[in-house]
Amino acid sequence: MSDLTVPEKLEQLRNLMQNNAVDAYIVMSADPHMSEYLPDYWKIRQWLSDFTGSVGTLIVTQDFAGLWVDGRYWVQAEQQLQGTGFSLQKLTDDASSHLAWLKNNLKANSSIVVNGQTLSVQQFKALDQIAQSNGFKLNIQQDLISQIWKDRPPLPNKPIYLMQDGLNALSRSEKIKTIRQILVEKNIAGLFISALDDIAWILNARGQDVEYNPVFLAHLYINTEQVILFINQDKVDSTTRKQLHDDGVSIKDYAETALFLSQTQDQNVQIDPAKVSILHEQAIPKQVRITEDINPSTLLKSRKHASEIAHIRNAMRKDGVALCHFFHWLETAIAHQENISELTIDEKITYFRAQQDGFIGLSFSTIAGFNENGALPHYRATPEHYSEIKGDGLLLIDSGGQYNDGTTDITRVVPIGTPSDEQKRDYTLVLKCHIALAKTIYPEGLAAPLLDAISRHTLWQQCLDYRHGTGHGVGYALNVHEGPQVLSYYAPITPYSKLREGMIISNEPGLYHVGKYGIRIENLVVNQLKANSDQGYGDFLEFETLTLCPINQECIVKEMLNAEEKAWLNNYHANVRSKLSPFLQGEVLEWLITNTAEV
């Protein structure tokens, strides 16, 4: 991303800091939409530090440079930060956060600078509280990085497109009407939205601005009289513009967003404080009452309609067909002792997915980690760092596809050569965790984080655990990570944590031994109403497993599975075989039949 080395970038940044009397410079992993996946233009943290993980916060002073990441990234960060001048700061709780570091290490009257475009309202409040209580001066207007990032990529400018008729259960106008009804009920005049997936969902539109996520850079304003899309106008062709206009959506330039907000006549405006930048919030006139709450669209899009779930099942079928071809190829290549690397895995799995109708691209960067690389939950092989697939061990493959009718995310583990007894035991423990969650029946409206313990129970009994959540929400032909549902005991319980019918979530327990191997088994599931469940205690939900791909059985210690667990696995494999076999033939069909045999 630059000809400069990380130490050279640090030196230039520190010189600018000294010239501008800046004591601490903070770099967030965000853009003005608080996105998880960023356009190249906003990959500031990656450019400055060379750390490629999806999250992390940097602080630079004249004598310190640190990167804060949670346990998912500790090993990866240690490797990537070597020789950069940045040190790993292990984030475990509030006391180990970058905010705590500022409080404990800066002197009164110290000047802190952070680009307000990349700071959410929520994050600003926490930072401002630290600044005020410790006598720090906080500046959110200064952007020092632009002065040293000379070859910074431009903002993306690819055209947007409207989804095919019939894919969405609700039209644009119906979604807008529903949101307006919610605003009226809450006595809210205007709604400002920056979250890209919310905007794409509301408009039934998709884009190509962010790798893996079919979204486009835009902001949206909705009130009772108008819907305004703030976007680079070159991205909207005349046909799309007319269709949006026919549904009451007018278009203004992306750069006019703050100016429009500063001139709003609405008496009160709602924003999502986790998804709107502090600079946009501060552009709203002081006399306008601001209501902070989750975007109504976030809750609406989290619950997929029956027709949309039917489309997602079709995407899962296509993904399953591609994966059967891939795993058959992998098994054959290994048997013939072909030269295979982690990079080959990425290339081949993408190739087979691309053969399917409606394939748009990957839903995230493929994780193919052999042995010790599999112990890094967010590992990605690169031409500079990858492993050959040879010898004995475990190969973890976490991958997903974007189709016009659904988003997929799946993890499987394949034994290479002869797996050890320890690896087989651990694999079976993780499988038992996966099955435990898949079989769970629970009250509708239960807070999602409370289910996490059910999945982890088997590992906890062995004093084992994993440092990531067990499940995340998944969008409909949209972002592979979607809120508000999250299945993790690390996550706070909020009024929006409740599991509802139609929500899609991942089921992905794991186990990782640093320097040795990693195991994760992941399917996507959808919350469905349990038939005849109301026994006087309300409705109950159960999970329907959507993902269609055999779970490798070579590593299973069958004696460790009880009768119910064996029955679940056999039923799952019977469903996979039934759904996929009509679309396969020859050796690949034989592979499917063999790998879905009963335990």
- Mean pLDDT, residues 328-343: 95
- Mean pLDDT, residues 325-330: 98
Domain boundary among 294, 314, 337: 294
- Residue-wise pLDDT for 519-539, tens only, equals 999 999 999 999 987 788 999
**pLDDT surpassing 60 at residue 456:** yes
In a domain, 153, yes or no: no
Angstrom CA distances, 217 to 27, 160, 171, 172, 422, stand at 21, 10, 21, 18, 48
Q: Strand 57-60: give its sheet, edge to edge.
A: 87-90, 65-69, 57-60, 24-27, 111-114, 137-139
* Same domain? 282 vs 316: no
* Same domain? 275 vs 322: no
Cα(237)–Cα(175) distance, integer angstroms: 22
- Residue-wise pLDDT for 192-244, tens only, equals 999 999 999 999 999 999 999 999 999 999 999 999 999 999 999 999 999 99
% residues pLDDT > 70 (the chain) = 100
**pLDDT surpassing 80 at residue 113:** yes
- Residue-wise pLDDT for 75-88, tens only, equals 889 989 999 999 99
Question: CATH no. for residue 497?
Answer: 3.90.230.10
* Same domain? 126 vs 271: no
Number of domains in the chain: 3
* Same domain? 81 vs 204: no
In a domain, 119, yes or no: yes
**pLDDT surpassing 60 at residue 1:** no
Domain boundary among 248, 277, 294: 294
* Same domain? 95 vs 200: no
In a domain, 54, yes or no: yes
- Report residue 377's pLDDT band, with 50, 70 and 90 as the boundaries: confident
Q: Please state, as a whole number, how many other Cβ atoms lie within 10 Å of the Cβ of residue 132.
A: 10
* Same domain? 283 vs 386: no
Burial class (CB within 10 angstroms; exposed 0-12, middle 13-18, buried 19+) of 146: exposed
Cα(217)–Cα(195) distance, integer angstroms: 9
**pLDDT, position 72:** 82
* Same domain? 129 vs 165: no
* Same domain? 79 vs 226: no
* Same domain? 71 vs 204: no
Question: CATH no. for residue 173?
Answer: 3.40.350.10
Domain boundary among 294, 325, 354: 294
**pLDDT surpassing 60 at residue 567:** yes
Cα(324)–Cα(548) distance, integer angstroms: 9
Q: Which two tokens stand for residue 238?
A: 């005349």
Task: Determine the structural domain holding residue 420 and report its residue range.
Answer: 303-595
Report phi then psi at 565, rounded to 5: -65, -40
In a domain, 432, yes or no: yes
**Mean of the per-residue pLDDT values for the chain?**
96
Q: Is 542 helix (H, G, I), strand (E, B) or coil?
A: strand
- Within 249-358, strands assigned E span 249-252, 268-271, 289-292
In a domain, 285, yes or no: yes
* Same domain? 421 vs 570: yes
* Same domain? 61 vs 31: yes
In a domain, 154, yes or no: no
Q: Which two tokens stand for residue 67?
A: 């990167």
Q: Please state, as a whole number, how many other Cβ atoms lie within 10 Å of the Cβ of residue 421.
A: 8
**pLDDT, position 536:** 87
- Residue-wise pLDDT for 487-521, tens only, equals 999 899 999 999 999 999 999 999 999 999 999 99
Cα(497)–Cα(254) distance, integer angstroms: 32
Angstrom CA distances, 445 to 451, 495, 503, 529, 539, stand at 12, 10, 11, 11, 9
In a domain, 156, yes or no: no
**pLDDT, position 201:** 98
In this structure, are residues 533 and 441 in contact, taking their beta carbons and an 8 Å threshold?
yes
pTM (two decimals): 0.95
**pLDDT surpassing 70 at residue 2:** no
In a domain, 428, yes or no: yes
% residues pLDDT > 90 (the chain) = 94
Cα(138)–Cα(232) distance, integer angstroms: 31
Report phi then psi at 61, rounded to 5: -125, -175
* Same domain? 138 vs 176: no
